[in-house]
Structure 1
Amino acid sequence: MIALVMFAVALLLLLFGVPVAFAFGGVAMMFAFFTPDVGFEVFNILPFRIYGIMSNTTLMAVPLFIMMGLILEKSGMAEKLLMSMSSLFKGVRGGLGVSVVLVGAILAASTGIVSASVVMMSVIALPLMLQAGYNKGLASGTIAASGTLGQIIPPSIILIVLGDVMSVSVGELFMGAVLPGLTLVGLYITYIMIRAYINKEDAPAIITDEQVNIIGLLLAIIPPLLLMVAVLGSIFAGIASPTESAAFGVVGGLILSGVNRTLNFEMIKYALFETMKLSGMIFMILIGATAFSLVFNELGGTDLILEFFSHDIGNVWVFIGVAMLSIFILGFFIDFIEISFIIVPILVPVMEAFGIDPIWFAVLIAMNLQASFLTPPFGLSLFFLKGAAGKSITTMDIYKGIIPFILLQLLGLGLVILFPDLVFAFI
């Protein structure tokens, strides 16, 4: 039971705002010191674990995909995409909202960085939607949910992390996440169109005499789609590993930025520094989580949980339900990185004991973690949206607007649970 107390103390420190890496690392040291059966000798293996992290070729894809996303963020691609898409759906009620969802999906497949996508969409799309007379809640919910698609649509940072933590192929995870991601896109579009049909004041059509510029539309859509096909297609075809494809994506992002005439020293400096900061944060959390798991396992925490689910409960669906509910609730308070590095390793032995397919289970976790970006009061996408939107919308507008999209995500999660073939269609 000491292991459970240790886990509770770590969560309590997180709620008090202690940095994640130091919370988990500090708790590990404290419980190792005060528990005679453990002692600091448990950390003798830690340098080898850290070296394993440093030499992990799968995790090398993380900073590369982050850099690719940051380069594309500054390339002006999102603005061109949205303007072209909105002209395609002019005269259709809810058309601007649909174009925002589609652009969010393309950005997700091109960048994979949620913060960048949400901020870009907030700056570009929100003024257009409010100017067109969209309901503030619907506009903010659409932007937050669309910008968060980068959590599930490949190339997703969370899928790379889960692939490493659960020891499964990142390429297969990418392939497994395609249809669930597109299912969410379809659910979002359906909701927007139904709401626009029921109440036309919430999502009025844009009336303009301007003709659709087909050439401009193709020039805006084709380059990011080519990059997406090149990066993901090379992984799916087995031509390149995720790390090699990520490196190719960085080069492709630089080329796209050069074509858009946004490539300069300041942009490269920004991408490099932000990549260093984000990657440093992720790997510091991973090191703290590794120290935590060493002590937690030494105290018998994993064995206790395995015993509880596989013998005391003995029902696979109860385990899946409890696991999904726990991740969903924890997503209200802590980030997806902490959940991936701390909670998921605890669940993996139980998953293996029940014979659950790790690819399917990983996609379920990724979809659940996506909801954690949207759940009030601590959903990061909501903070990104409010920070970028300023005074044009209130926090309450955001909370009201995001609730239907959270329900849609839970519906999407339920569909993947009921129809596992959605994950295995391309594998």
Structure 2
Amino acid sequence: MEWYEVALGLLGLLIVLIGLGLPIPFALAAASLPFLWQIQTFNTSLVSAQLKLWGVWINYILLAVPLFVFLGELISRSNIGANLYMFLHRGVPIRGSAAYGSIGACAGFGAVSGSSMVGSLTIGGVALPEMLRLGYDRRLASGVLAAGGTLSVLLPPSLILLFYGIVTDQSIGQLFMAGIIPGLLLASFFVIVVLIWARLHPAHVPDRDTGPRLALIQIAVSLGPIIVIGGVITVSIYGGIATPTEAAAIAALVTVALAVGVGGLRWKGFGEALMATMRTMGYLGLLLSAGVLFGFVLNYYRVPQQVTELFLAFELSPYMVLALVILFYIALGMFLEPVSMTFITLPVIIPLILAAGFDLIWFGIVYTITMEIAVLTPPVGLNLYVISGISRGKVSVPDVIVGSLPFIVALVVLVGVMIAFPQAALWLPEQVR
């Protein structure tokens, strides 16, 4: 079969299967098998599929995924995230402190957990009712929290960067380091969005909070766990003490102790965290395995290489290629969630990016920012539904969409900054390389 027949056949079959409601992992595998049978017998292809599945589950680097997921679930079921938000908001004599506190709490949560949805759920569950009670406009409140969750994807540890590193065979530590400055820039951009919103619509932001400040012991309980967990991850990985997998294991153990000791976690919450981690990993494990099988078929028929040669034949400039790739991901992000896009598309896109001459560590940050846009764009913007769901009917999905639009603009601006100033992502990795 010709490569373009395989590419169109895989894509068409995948779209049909997803449209029929088949879960994406099974759709990926089912779309791959007919083309695998063209090069292998039925029995051999079954063995190949089993080996791909086994190869994913025994991958040492991938052990970091369930550990970081478990860490995030522990924090979301304890009071650690809630305490952090209350510290950043309560008694702060600044107009809009609850909105700024939400951004800061999401950034702090991002430093210890890599899931955008869990970040929005954890901080949003505490912050959204408080902001609505204080009189914030529901669109502003929901937009801040939906967008704030994306900080968990960019600031290390990030599951998307972890998956990107696995698929592209790039250093996880380098990718994590590259996300720090862009993550802090994004938090700053979100603060600027709130400042502009408050200036344009003064009625949407209440006067400064004059409530009582937290006592010193409450401040220690609020900040201590985040500092300790984030410090363990940062120092162990970037200090060369441990691999990302080992750092995740140590951090998960420390989080258990802190969640129980100061976060109020009980056996019920611990069990729920375990079950949620197993459910998440059941899906991710199948997705990873199916993605590997899908990539094997693509590479056997040389689809990525042929796509790259096709683009090179048009003699497009590198930045034109990059612009097309970014637009492709923004459009695709309206219909697929980021993890699925990572395993479906990167095997084809990465050779094209390499041929255009871009650094893969830098592109990993640009890619991750586009994934952040994906979780805020309907109809499959996960963070939009999370925030609407935790509002218990007080905020509709259209309200969250409208509230998220200025923050999506901030994300687009950040992409432009990364393109204009690549060193914003590459400077830190170069210093520790």
| TM bracket (short chain) | over 0.9
Matching residue within 152, 163, 166 for 2:154: 152
Report the Cα distance in structure 2 between the residues aligned to 1:406 and 1:167, rounded to whole angstroms: 29
* 2:8 match: 4
Contact 1:15 1:333 in 2 (8 A): no
Matching residue within 383, 393, 401 for 1:381: 383
Q: Match of 1:18, as an amino acid?
A: L
* 1:115 match: 117
User: CA offsets, 1:356-398, max 9 Å, x none?
Assistant: 2110011111111111111112100111111111211122211
User: What is the RMSD of the two structures over their aligned residues, measured on CA atoms?
Assistant: 1.9
Matching residue within 44, 49, 54 for 2:57: 54
- SS for the counterpart of 1:390 is coil
- SS for the counterpart of 1:384 is helix
Counterpart check, 1:131 vs 2:133 = yes
Counterpart check, 1:79 vs 2:92 = no
* 1:178 match: 180
Matching residue within 12, 18, 25 for 1:21: 25
Contact 1:43 1:294 in 2 (8 A): no
The 5-angstrom pairing of residues 295-334 of structure 1 reads 295-334=297-336
* 1:264 match: 266
User: CA offsets, 1:257-308, max 9 Å, x none?
Assistant: 1222634322222122111111111110111122222223334422321111
Contact 2:91 2:213 in 1 (8 A): no
Contact 1:85 1:217 in 2 (8 A): no
Structure 1 window deviating more from structure 2 (95-104 vs 223-232): it is 223-232
Structure 1 window deviating more from structure 2 (172-181 vs 288-297): it is 288-297
Matching residue within 284, 292, 295 for 1:293: 295
Report the Cα distance in structure 2 between the residues aligned to 1:347 and 1:375, rounded to whole angstroms: 22
Matching residue within 246, 249, 254 for 2:248: 246
Matching residue within 404, 407, 410 for 2:409: 407
Report the Cα distance in structure 1 between the residues aligned to 2:161 and 2:52, rounded to whole angstroms: 21
> In 2 relative to 1, CA 261–122 (structure 1 residues): closer, same or farther, beyond 3 Å?
closer
CA shift for structure 1 position 355: 3.0
* 1:189 match: 191
CA shift for structure 1 position 38: 6.8
CA shift for structure 1 position 26: 0.8
Structure 1 window deviating more from structure 2 (158-167 vs 39-48): it is 39-48
CA shift for structure 1 position 42: 6.1
> In 2 relative to 1, CA 128–261 (structure 1 residues): closer, same or farther, beyond 3 Å?
closer
TM-score (norm 1): 0.94
Structure 1 window deviating more from structure 2 (332-341 vs 312-321): it is 312-321
TM-score (norm 2): 0.93
Contact 1:93 1:197 in 2 (8 A): no
Report the Cα distance in structure 2 between the residues aligned to 1:181 and 1:393, rounded to whole angstroms: 27
Counterpart check, 1:66 vs 2:69 = yes
Counterpart check, 1:89 vs 2:89 = no
Q: Match of 1:174, as an amino acid?
A: F
- SS for the counterpart of 1:256 is helix
CA shift for structure 1 position 37: 6.2
Q: Match of 1:78, as an amino acid?
A: G
* 1:398 match: 400
Runs of 5+ in structure 2 lacking a partner?
none
Structure 1 window deviating more from structure 2 (390-399 vs 207-216): it is 207-216
Q: Match of 1:77, as an amino acid?
A: I
> In 2 relative to 1, CA 80–189 (structure 1 residues): closer, same or farther, beyond 3 Å?
same
* 1:162 match: 164
Runs of 5+ in structure 1 lacking a partner?
none
Q: Match of 1:64, as an amino acid?
A: L
User: CA offsets, 1:151-184, max 9 Å, x none?
Assistant: 1111111111111101011000000000111111
Structure 1 window deviating more from structure 2 (347-356 vs 188-197): it is 347-356
* 2:34 match: 30
Report the Cα distance in structure 2 between the residues aligned to 1:393 and 1:350, rounded to whole angstroms: 42
Report the Cα distance in structure 2 between the residues aligned to 1:305 and 1:172, rounded to whole angstroms: 28
Contact 2:52 2:293 in 1 (8 A): no
Q: Match of 1:421, as an amino acid?
A: Q
